[in-house]
Structure 1
Amino acid sequence: MARVVQDTKLAKREHRLRLEARKKPYWMTLNEGEHLGYYRGARVGKWVARYRRAGAGANYQETTIAEADDSADADGTVILNFKQAQEAARGWFLSLEKNAGRRRGAYTVSDALDDYLHGFQGKDVANTRRRIEAIVRPQMGHHEVAALTTQIVHDWLIGLASAPARLRTAKGASQNVRMTADTDEARRSRRSSANRILTILKAALNRAYRDGTVGADDAWRRVKPFAKADAPRLRYLTDDEARRLTNATDRAFRPIVQAALLTGARYSELARLEVRDFDRQSQTVWLRETKAGTPRAVYLEGEGVELFEQATVGKEADALVFPRPDGKKWGPSHQARPLAAACVAAKLAPTGFHDLRRTYGARLALRGVPIAVIAEALGHADERITRRHYAHLSKSYVADTVRTAVAGLGIVEASNVARLEPARQP
């Protein structure tokens, strides 16, 4: 039996409990390329391990071993002490073929996630990895894939939908969450989020099944996502609301809000735009990196051209069109606080950045633009997505026929209140 490697921070329970809770584990070396780690969460501590074949230059393979004996005595299986965690980690190292770095023996969900990320072809790899490391791996990584049952996966999905929404959290701090009232919309939103996480887990396990690493897919195939959880959000701004929001937005962030309203582009697409992507002659903006992975052009009208001319004048071709005040790129979630503050100042209901994109699509639909053109303008891969969100706003034969055929009953008296149209701002 291998000797127990000592580490003053991790060996004793009382020492581990003094460590700061953070997203990354505290690591100690057992051998070259072999490490035992302790993840100090806000509520529970866990033993993890990572392995990299010496000299291979590849990424580490990581797995969750078991829960640490921080608040309960070790049972040798689910809860392990420091010595038991080292033995379990070495057992996992031995299950890796040292000559090729391939796994043998028990194949865990964590292994499946590693294989999935290694071959990931989508554009949203950063978000996918973040969700895997923050949610999927800590909660499901220790399960052996062959031993998964439908009940295990289903219970995990229910737990996701019952947990409060996670909020942006400073590095090393305890996870922030959003506590909301238990309303129908709140439950729908959490179920929708749980469905997206389930999709990632299923994708990783399906890859393992297709590769022949596991022999059956019944356990997760039988778990269905929550029904009717992804109803389209119909929130869009009127022209007056869009002007109020723009005027109330901090000047540093205002140009990117204006660009969203005038182009329908996503936040990430606008944040990475460079001066070279704006073509004054053709009055277009070229989105090189999109959610669908297919570059596309955005067609500008006069106000949009003016905005981009102001944002690009005097800049180098590789400079950002909409930089932060410090010159760096706006990062994920940086839009949340400026928009929230602007909504309060403008006395508007909470409005997300994606609602600005919906506003662009809604303005086209309300002006009678064909669905096919709206789909092209927004970069939708399938017109069904466009119809789902904007068909009810478009002029249609059905709507015109109903309004013509049903002339009313004469049961509502006409109002003498004059409706004032908002004045257009110069």
Structure 2
Amino acid sequence: MARTVQDFKLGKREQRLRLEARKKPYWTTINEGEHLGYYRGARVGKWLARFRAPGGGAYQEATLAQADDFADADGEVILNFRQAQDKARSWFASPDRGGARRTGPYTVGTALDDYVADFTGKDLANTKRRIEKLIRPTLGAVEIARLTSKQIDDWKLALARSPARLRTAADADQNYRAAPVSTEDMRRRQSNANRVLTVLKAALNKAFRGEKAASDSAWRRVKPFPKVDAPRLRYLSDAEARRLVNSALPDFRLLIQAALLTGARYAELTNLEVRDFDAASASLWLRETKAGVGRAVYLDAEGVQLFKQQTAGRAKSDRMFLKSTGQPWGAAHQARPMAEARLAAKIDHVSFHDLRRTYGARLALKGVPMAIIAEALGHADERITRKHYAHLSPSHVGDVVRAAVTGMQIVEKSKVVAIG
């Protein structure tokens, strides 16, 4: 019988530096027979990997790189914990190991690895995060042939009942929001669990199509939580939008203005270059979009003015929007300045993505057809647009209902006199 591997906590630098220096590495399990190791020497720490085929036999081992104990990771010579995991998985699947990984039981973890290796979507970072944090720890070691609907259902329910993970520094303990208590809290957690379930099913379906699983019935019978994907209805009035713009720091103010005038996502805006604005056609070309397909944004006079100011005298390859320091905006750099601007403007909670919703809502309130709004926002399906904006559009049904029920005279006219 194979000995049980004692998993050590290696994810944080301070945890590794508390380990005793020794010749024998410290190991943590990635999948069955696959381990990431850390060698704690007197002067240096190194990442290792080892693999053993199902059924036993000797381990194959490899040294991966130096650990980021005393210097920042560079992704090649020095790796952090996440990078070491990725490199270990690449080694596990590499031809120089003889492909032994494929001869044993095919696990959920292996299916997840294969899914990520062939992933072609735009949201790879979030997909990998959901896999590593929310799927693999519970289901990764389970053989697909032995996977049951109950296991998946129990995992899904536990995920919905768990507190939401909050943004946390790389070397800090994970922060969590309070466990869901209200009906709305639970709806959000169930909606999130549905999204993670979609990733799991996509990986398992790929395995089934590749004949790595004899049947897909175990996960096909598992249904998502019903009626929990309520559309977000938050959008700013024109007055709120002006207050938010006026309250933001100058460099971030430009991004807010651009979002309100284009409906573009944060990442779509921060990836813009000067060449993407065409003053002659009063349009903007979004090269990097969520759908992976570029699209045009048609600007009004105010939008043209904003982008003319941003591009005047600049090289075509320059980033359109930069921080006041001259550095590009990063993936999560909008959260703090957005919160500061919202508080200064005395506006209830609003996210940067709500600026995109504000753009869509303004079009709907003006009676723009749903098909046009879908095209303007880059929605792949008009049903998405209707879900979020149809209730805001002038409607024949609404007009008929209001005309039919009018005239009861059961509410006194207001005696409040407007001031100003």
- In 1, the alpha carbon distance for the partners of 2:285 and 2:52 equals 41
2:370 corresponds to which residue?
Answer: 371
Quick one: which amino acid aligns to residue 369 of structure 1?
A: V
| Change beyond 3 A, Cα 1:223–1:420 | farther
| Change beyond 3 A, Cα 1:147–1:183 | same
In structure 2, the residue corresponding to 1:103 is in which secondary structure?
helix
- In 1, the alpha carbon distance for the partners of 2:223 and 2:18 equals 41
| Change beyond 3 A, Cα 1:201–1:371 | same
2:284 corresponds to which residue?
Answer: 285
- In 2, the alpha carbon distance for the partners of 1:160 and 1:326 equals 40
Shift of 1:138: 2.3
* Unpaired stretches in structure 1, ≥5 consecutive residues: 20-24, 29-33, 39-47, 54-59, 61-88, 422-426
2:121 corresponds to which residue?
Answer: 122
In structure 2, the residue corresponding to 1:304 is in which secondary structure?
helix
Quick one: which amino acid aligns to residue 402 of structure 1?
A: V
- In 2, the alpha carbon distance for the partners of 1:198 and 1:359 equals 30
- In 2, the alpha carbon distance for the partners of 1:184 and 1:206 equals 32
In structure 2, the residue corresponding to 1:122 is in which secondary structure?
coil
2:61 corresponds to which residue?
Answer: none
1:202 corresponds to which residue?
Answer: 201
- In 2, the alpha carbon distance for the partners of 1:179 and 1:340 equals 20
2:327 corresponds to which residue?
Answer: 328
1:342 corresponds to which residue?
Answer: 341
The Cα offsets for residues 99-141 of structure 1, whole Å up to 9 and x where unpaired, read as 3465111111110011001111212112212222222222321
- In 1, the alpha carbon distance for the partners of 2:229 and 2:49 equals 37
Describe how 1:6-405 pairs up with structure 2 within 5 A: 18=18, 36-37=36-37, 98-100=97-99, 102-179=101-178, 182-405=181-404
- In 2, the alpha carbon distance for the partners of 1:16 and 1:250 equals 40
Q: State how many pairs are aligned.
A: 361
Shift of 1:145: 1.4
- In 1, the alpha carbon distance for the partners of 2:418 and 2:142 equals 63
Shift of 1:49: 6.0
The Cα offsets for residues 242-267 of structure 1, whole Å up to 9 and x where unpaired, read as 11111112222111111111100111
Quick one: which amino acid aligns to residue 149 of structure 1?
A: T
- In 2, the alpha carbon distance for the partners of 1:3 and 1:410 equals 82
- In 1, the alpha carbon distance for the partners of 2:2 and 2:409 equals 90
Quick one: which amino acid aligns to residue 156 of structure 1?
A: W
* TM-score, normalised via structure 2 length: 0.78
| Change beyond 3 A, Cα 1:3–1:347 | closer
Shift of 1:377: 0.8
- In 2, the alpha carbon distance for the partners of 1:235 and 1:118 equals 37
1:70 corresponds to which residue?
Answer: none
The Cα offsets for residues 189-234 of structure 1, whole Å up to 9 and x where unpaired, read as 1111111111111100110011100111121111111111111011
| Change beyond 3 A, Cα 1:52–1:314 | farther
In structure 2, the residue corresponding to 1:340 is in which secondary structure?
helix
| Change beyond 3 A, Cα 1:408–1:300 | same
Shift of 1:9: 9.8
Shift of 1:419: 4.7
2:413 corresponds to which residue?
Answer: 414
- In 2, the alpha carbon distance for the partners of 1:231 and 1:52 equals 47
- In 2, the alpha carbon distance for the partners of 1:210 and 1:238 equals 49
Shift of 1:417: 2.5
In structure 1, the residue corresponding to 2:296 is in which secondary structure?
strand
1:371 and 1:386 in contact (8 A); partners too: yes
Quick one: which amino acid aligns to residue 195 of structure 1?
A: N
In structure 2, the residue corresponding to 1:252 is in which secondary structure?
helix
| Change beyond 3 A, Cα 1:416–1:4 | closer
* Unpaired stretches in structure 2, ≥5 consecutive residues: 20-24, 29-33, 39-47, 54-63, 65-87
2:163 and 2:180 in contact (8 A); partners too: no
Shift of 1:408: 2.9
- In 2, the alpha carbon distance for the partners of 1:248 and 1:420 equals 25
- In 1, the alpha carbon distance for the partners of 2:125 and 2:318 equals 23
| Change beyond 3 A, Cα 1:93–1:114 | closer
The Cα offsets for residues 334-387 of structure 1, whole Å up to 9 and x where unpaired, read as 211111122211111110111111100010111111111111111111111111
Shift of 1:398: 0.7
Quick one: which amino acid aligns to residue 346 of structure 1?
A: A
2:248 and 2:337 in contact (8 A); partners too: yes
The Cα offsets for residues 63-97 of structure 1, whole Å up to 9 and x where unpaired, read as xxxxxxxxxxxxxxxxxxxxxxxxxx9xx979x99
- In 2, the alpha carbon distance for the partners of 1:2 and 1:394 equals 65
The Cα offsets for residues 257-304 of structure 1, whole Å up to 9 and x where unpaired, read as 111111001111111111111111111110111111211000000111
- In 2, the alpha carbon distance for the partners of 1:52 and 1:249 equals 56
| Change beyond 3 A, Cα 1:185–1:112 | same
In structure 1, the residue corresponding to 2:285 is in which secondary structure?
strand
Quick one: which amino acid aligns to residue 353 of structure 1?
A: F
Quick one: which amino acid aligns to residue 37 of structure 1?
A: G
| Change beyond 3 A, Cα 1:353–1:26 | farther
Q: CA RMSD for the aligned pairs?
A: 3.4
- In 1, the alpha carbon distance for the partners of 2:326 and 2:406 equals 59
Quick one: which amino acid aligns to residue 379 of structure 2?
A: H
Which range moved further: 109-118 or 335-344? Answer: 335-344
| Change beyond 3 A, Cα 1:282–1:9 | closer
